[in-house]
Amino acid sequence: MSDDKKLPTLKQPASLMFHWSFDAGGAGPAQDLASKRSDVIGGVHTFVRGPGKGLALRFDGFTTFLERASGPALTSGSFSVEAWIAPGAFPWCLAPIVDMAPKQGEGFHLSLDAYGHIVFSVALDGEVVVVRSPEPLKLTTWHHVAGVYEAGRGLTLWVGGTQVTEQLHGGMFRPAVDGSAVLGRSRIELAATGGIRIASHLPITNYLDALVDDVKVHQGILSKSEIASTLAAVGAPQPPPLPVRKLPSGAPGKGKFGAFYTRLSYYDAWDRRWRVGDHPDVVVRFDDEAYRLVFWRGTNYIPCWASEEGIWYTNEFNETWGHGATGCAEPMSDKHCAYSHVRVIESSDARVVIHWRYALVDVLGVRPRKDPVSKWSDWSDEVYTIYPDGTGTRKITLHSTQPLDPHEFQETIVVLSPGQRPDDVLDAEALTMANMAGEEHTYSWAGGPPQVIDKPDRCNVQVVNTKSATKPFLIVSDGHCLKRDLSKSDRPVFPVYKNEIRPPQLFPWWNHWPTAELPSDGRFAEAPDRAAHSSLLTGMEWEDYEVTPTSRTRVHLHGMSRKRARDLVPLAKSWLHPAPLQVSSQGVRAEGYDILERAYVLSSESGVTAISATVEASRGNPVVNLAIIVRNWQGDTHPALAINGVSVARGVDYRIGHRTLLESEDLLVWIRLSAEQPLQLDIGVVSTASEPAAKPITKAKA
């Protein structure tokens, strides 16, 4: 439409109609300085330094909004809208800076979308015309944004004083007659962008996670010079006072080995959501390396190895599908940890034992595979036994009426802080596999993921090539197993996660987990604005430890190491093919090597005060960091140790722990050493050796 009847408003000067400045701060309701009205701010809200001298309102991304039910309205002529915004994260879907469009086909909104683009939407003659900024806004940075509708011409969008896009359109603006306005919150529920499984990707109210200041709506055209004057008045804005967002693992650096209850802080607005006490989380710390094992409610207690460089990794959990579940049933979907709990069973100088229990639940809160008689659904118990060398066992017990039906037990997952992409934490050559013969092969994702993991032959040692000095590893039995379809394999199976990769990314990238309260079990990450995750392998199958009519148990070795995959083979042998241990002490019984505990077990009904034993270490059955459990120990609290007749002082390489059970008092011994020759051990036996104390065996780190 370009007839002259439409043209008189073309040069209509801007007249301020609404102005939310927030400079009053917490002194009372938000003041609209132009219309002289007050509006109550909903949700949790704080006032912080704005881009200029005044204050800005912090929209926390979860609860904060400003809403006006009715008020003065714009006319049908030209109008302009402007604001300052500093995003902390992009919304899951469209969230308004200011929305004066209560119904489809009327009004306007200026919004931020899930990709970080500014969106200006205007109702023109019943049609909704939309323009978007071509580039996303930079996070944690102040931006001045403005949308201008010029009657008879169309829409223009400005970012930082520059016109970034326009849309010519001759239609006339149809304003909302009720004058209602919403800032910071969508009027209706909208599904997040990037959903993968639509049935389990539910709509939500979208909130702004940003600082906002000086929201102004003008009747008439805001000129380029007026926009420039606004920017000049502010000058160079100071960095917005938004909190740093980094996955928490406690104070950095090495520390005393042990498991510690704590409350890990992510950032204030997220922390505030959790209705927990002072010690909801558990961190396992090590005294010779700065990595951690973290059980945090932000990952729904799914345990993660966190490197010194801040790269997180997890071996996943039990997961299932169908039988009443919408999408995936897994602890990832337990957004408030209603069914996921962690507790410390042991914490001593010798080792740590953590118990994690969870239900398999979908995003609707449904627990599938419910037994028709008992009404029990699928639950899992995982026990983590961790030693000072950063190596431990993970015992996974699935409780189910259908324990052999399809369930996942492992997925190779890296977990990302805001600001990290998968390529930032993973090498393109992301995975190295080794077998018990010491052969290894590295797999590259450059040019696409590998089709199959079958080299070297019968591989069972996995190292994830994260961009960190210490890297996560996993070891399983190289024996036979049942695959998901219950067909038999004579070796473990390592399926590659080939789906949901969007080039040019090398790896899949999702952010429905961790930290997200989004009711979704699959959402593509659109930007590195939130915590996220990526996977290399999925649904690994390996030998069952035990199967009963209502349970299935598997175990693997895992941890962090500076070693290559092939150099972890002696560790694998020491666990999978332990050296025989013979006890010469009277009344003491050797109960064998417990693969679940990664330890030899000794006991006596009458009580043990001293141990003399021989470990028949060899090249095929080496010892790498020896752990012994002595049940019913009644000897010294800190017994002496001699290896091959040479005394070893208690310290970082010889550690003692004690556990008190209903049935017994047990001694826990851990010794850092490597050996391929027989070892004579004397624990609690007075040494007659005349030579000085020494460490006769080469030390070993995992």
Contact 431, 537 (CB under 8 A): yes
- Residue 464 has a pLDDT of 98
- Residue 32 has a pLDDT of 85
Give the tens place of pLDDT for each residue, 514-554.
999 999 999 999 999 999 999 999 999 999 999 999 999 99
Give the tens place of pLDDT for each residue, 240-259.
999 999 999 999 999 999 99
Q: Name the band, by pLDDT with cuts 50, 70 and 90, for residue 696.
A: very low
Model pTM score: 0.94
Residue 677 has pLDDT above 60, yes or no: yes
Q: With 0-12 CB in 10 A as exposed, 13-18 as middle and 19+ as buried, what is 692?
A: exposed
- Residue 605 has a pLDDT of 86
CA distances 339 to 50, 303, 358, 359, Å, are: 42, 15, 5, 5
Residue 626 has pLDDT above 80, yes or no: yes
Contact 142, 240 (CB under 8 A): yes
Give the tens place of pLDDT for each residue, 152-189.
999 999 999 999 999 999 999 999 999 999 999 999 99
Residue 13 has pLDDT above 90, yes or no: no
d(C-alpha 623, C-alpha 681), whole Å:
13
Residue 123 has pLDDT above 60, yes or no: yes
Give the tens place of pLDDT for each residue, 257-266.
999 999 999 9
Q: Name the band, by pLDDT with cuts 50, 70 and 90, for residue 432.
A: very high
Domain residue extents for the chain: 4-234, 258-569, 577-683
Q: Name the band, by pLDDT with cuts 50, 70 and 90, for residue 12.
A: low
Reference 479, options 488, 495, 491, 464; nearest CA is 491
- Residue 36 has a pLDDT of 85
What single DSSP character describes residue 43? Answer: S
- Residue 11 has a pLDDT of 54
> Taking all residues of the chain, what is their mean pLDDT, rounded to a whole number?
94
- Residue 6 has a pLDDT of 39
Q: Name the band, by pLDDT with cuts 50, 70 and 90, for residue 30.
A: confident
* Rounded mean pLDDT, 284-310: 98
The token pair that represents 81 in the structure block = 């809208």
The answer to whether the 4-234 and 258-569 domains have the same CATH topology is no
In the numeric block, the tokens 């010779």 are attached to 288
337: left (phi over 0), alpha (psi -120 to 50) or beta: left
d(C-alpha 527, C-alpha 604), whole Å:
60
**3-12, 385-394, 674-683 — which is least confidently predicted?**
3-12
Give the tens place of pLDDT for each residue, 588-608.
999 999 999 999 999 998 899
In the numeric block, the tokens 């609404």 are attached to 18
- Residue 252 has a pLDDT of 94
- Residue 25 has a pLDDT of 78
Reference 302, options 121, 515, 474, 493; nearest CA is 515
Q: What CATH number matches the domain at 258-569, 1.10.1660, 2.70.98, 2.60.40, 3.40.720? A: 2.70.98
- Residue 14 has a pLDDT of 79
d(C-alpha 370, C-alpha 557), whole Å:
31
Provide the greatest CA pair distance for the chain.
Answer: 112
The CATH number of 4-234 is 2.60.120.200
Greater pLDDT, 38 or 131: 131
Give the tens place of pLDDT for each residue, 316-375.
999 999 999 999 999 999 999 999 999 999 999 999 999 999 999 999 999 999 999 999
Residue 87 has pLDDT above 50, yes or no: yes
- Residue 66 has a pLDDT of 96
Contact 565, 440 (CB under 8 A): yes
List, in sequence order, the alpha helices (H) in 468-586: 569-576
Residue 612 has pLDDT above 80, yes or no: yes
Q: Name the band, by pLDDT with cuts 50, 70 and 90, for residue 674.
A: very high
- Residue 700 has a pLDDT of 55
Residue 301 has pLDDT above 60, yes or no: yes
State the amino acid at position 109 in one-letter form: H
Q: What residues form DSSP beta bridges with 416?
A: 532
Q: Name the band, by pLDDT with cuts 50, 70 and 90, for residue 685.
A: confident
Residue 699 has pLDDT above 60, yes or no: no
Residue 5 has pLDDT above 50, yes or no: no
* Rounded mean pLDDT, 295-310: 98
Residue 3 has pLDDT above 80, yes or no: no
